[in-house]
A and B are shown apart, each in its own frame.
Chain A
Amino acid sequence: MFRPLLALLRRDLTLALRRPQDALTVVGFFVVVVALFPLGIGPDPEFLRSLAPGVLWVAALLAVMLSLERLFSDDYRDGTLEQMLLVPEPLGLLVLTKIFAHWLITGLPLVLISPLLAVQLNLRPDEILILMAALLLGTPILSLIGAIGAALTLGLRGGGVLIALLILPLYAPPLILGAGAVDAVMHGASAQAHLSLLGAMMVFALFATPWATAAAVRIMLD
């Protein structure tokens, strides 16, 4: 049961290692977007600090969304996605494996680099810890939901822009909870409620979205 999934995971990671620029581009985008905000709103440290949770989360969300276009499109173009429909393994699990690989390649680096950017925006160590925890719980949600959009736009002209329109409204809940968690700590409250809800949302997304994504893949390859 798990051997095919491991084979797929290893394949996607190998491919990513042979083309590291794809993953690095996403991280680069995240860093550049965050760096542009102070230029737009001024260098006042206190003001930047108060905006930091929202800025970091919106930048992470956009970075994940941009990376999603590639989630299925390479496999779609060379025909390997088609062959995946013919594998004696539930498509939902294969899709989930691909999303996990994709998160390891693009989501996890965002979590790891976020402290650096948070320091630039004057967040304190305890706030940075909460930021990382929220991103660790939140970026998988972004990947899981975004995969539906990536599947629904397979083979369409202007797919990237369309993904944004389909997916960004659905990103509102994780954004509110994730940025809210950091905000709560900044105002001396506990972030526990936010993080618990984020965790619950991740579990729900983990079980529900792969099947929707699998259905979308089947439809778009029909």
Chain B
Amino acid sequence: MSERGIQWFRFTAPANFYDLAGRLIPWFAALTVALFGVGLYMGLVVAPSDYQQGDSYRIIYIHVPTAWMGMFLYVLMAVYAAIGLIWRIKIAEIMAKSIAPTGALFTFLALWTGALWGRPTWGVFWVWDARLTSMLLLLFLYLGYMALHAAIDDRQRASNASAVLAMVGVVNVPIIYFSVHWWNTLHQGASITVTEAPTMAMIMFVTLMIMVLAAWMYSIAVVLARARVELLERERTAHWVRERLEGERG
């Protein structure tokens, strides 16, 4: 970070964001590695086996955090998109766009781990369980958002249009969830519902929370990094970008 960079820091919000994100990313990345390391060690070695499912249950340490992040990031994305659309704040638009791939990745991982978990538990890779089905629809919503963003050439229009879609989607997520849940209970005979162990040992709970935190830290680091690149691209004609790039080169 050059001296000139610090001067610009005071004047322009995008530059401010760019510098701040640049400084924060290494910390979040380090936390991610540390928490994942501790969480995986506790989950795979320290935590005891489940008395019913044996060792296969350990996949919840990945499955549950990814599923939570997938859902939460969609809401967060819609909130940023709405802020960007209503108040025309560029950083919010960029954040919404940057969150989408990470959210989709987590949702996909949740589905993947769910399928892997299903094989030893139910004997099949996929059951039309209410939660898995909702996650699948959520993945489609993410893909639709990203596809629409990519299909529109004009950046501003792409941001605005996909923001409308994200807001429509976030209103629909609870409706989808409840209708799928209802559908599932009505067809109870045909499927099996996922039920976690009614009482969770303390060590399992702590491990789970560490993994959730790790997923958080990862999301923040990756989303900020992606937003930084996107910001550079959008503002490439601005003075502060030239200042930064020359500073980094020299």
What distance in Å separates the Cβ of B183 from its nearest Cβ neighbour in chain A? 4
- CB-CB nearest in chain B for A170: B172
Distance, CA A172 to CA B134, complexed state (A): 10
Known A152-B148, A169-B140, A172-B180; contact A216-B164, beta-carbon cutoff 8 A: yes
Q: Which residues of A contact B157 (CB under 8 A)?
A: 219-220, 222
Mask, A187-222, CB within 8 Å of B = 1, is 000000000000001000000110010011001101
Scan residues 171-197 of chain A and give those whose CB is less than 8 A from a CB of chain B. 172-173, 176-177, 180, 183-184
Is the CB of A148 closer than 8 A to any CB of chain B? Answer: yes
Q: Are A219 and B160 in contact (CB under 8 A)?
A: yes
Q: Are B175 and A201 in contact (CB under 8 A)?
A: yes
Distance, CA A113 to CA B25, complexed state (A): 60
Q: Which residues of A contact B179 (CB under 8 A)?
A: 172-173, 176-177
Q: Which residues of A contact B137 (CB under 8 A)?
A: 169, 172
- CB-CB nearest in chain A for B153: A156
Is the CB of B109 closer than 8 A to any CB of chain A? Answer: no
Q: Which of B165, B167, B182, B183 lies in contact with A166, CB distance below 8 A?
A: B165
Q: Are A219 and B164 in contact (CB under 8 A)?
A: yes
- CB-CB nearest in chain B for A222: B157
Q: Are B183 and A152 in contact (CB under 8 A)?
A: no
Is the CB of A165 closer than 8 A to any CB of chain B? Answer: yes
Q: Which residues of B contact A180 (CB under 8 A)?
A: 183, 186
* SS of B interface (majority): helix
Please tell me the number of chain B residues within 8 Å of chain A, measured between CB atoms: 27
Is the CB of A157 closer than 8 A to any CB of chain B? Answer: yes
Q: Are A212 and B167 in contact (CB under 8 A)?
A: yes
Q: Which of A168, A177, A212 lies in contact with B164, CB distance below 8 A?
A: A212
Q: Which of B151, B161, B180 lies in contact with A176, CB distance below 8 A?
A: B180
Distance, CA A172 to CA B183, complexed state (A): 10
Chain A interface extent, by class: 20 to 34
Q: Which residues of B contact A148 (CB under 8 A)?
A: 164-165, 168
Is the CB of A129 closer than 8 A to any CB of chain B? Answer: no
Q: Which residues of B contact A209 (CB under 8 A)?
A: 168
Q: Which residues of B contact A152 (CB under 8 A)?
A: 148, 161, 164-165
Q: Are A173 and B161 in contact (CB under 8 A)?
A: no
What distance in Å separates the Cβ of A217 from its nearest Cβ neighbour in chain B? 10
Is the CB of A158 closer than 8 A to any CB of chain B? Answer: yes
Distance, CA A182 to CA B46, complexed state (A): 51
Known A158-B151, A169-B176; contact A208-B164, beta-carbon cutoff 8 A: no
- CB-CB nearest in chain B for A158: B151
What distance in Å separates the Cβ of B133 from its nearest Cβ neighbour in chain A? 8
Distance, CA A156 to CA B157, complexed state (A): 12
- CB-CB nearest in chain A for B145: A166
Scan residues 116-152 of chain B and give those whose CB is less than 8 A from a CB of chain A. 137, 140-141, 143-144, 147-148, 151-152
What distance in Å separates the Cβ of B86 from its nearest Cβ neighbour in chain A? 10
Is the CB of A116 closer than 8 A to any CB of chain B? Answer: no
Q: Are A156 and B160 in contact (CB under 8 A)?
A: no
- CB-CB nearest in chain A for B175: A173
What distance in Å separates the Cβ of A181 from its nearest Cβ neighbour in chain B? 11
Scan residues 133-176 of chain A and give those whose CB is less than 8 A from a CB of chain B. 148, 152-153, 156-158, 162, 165-166, 168-170, 172-173, 176
Chain B positions within 8 Å of A, measured between CB atoms, are 137, 140-141, 143-144, 147-148, 151-152, 156-157, 160-161, 164-165, 167-169, 171-172, 175-176, 179-180, 182-183, 186
| Between-chain CB contacts (< 8 Å), 11 pairs | A158-B151, A162-B147, A162-B151, A166-B144, A166-B165, A170-B168, A170-B176, A180-B186, A183-B186, A219-B157, A219-B160
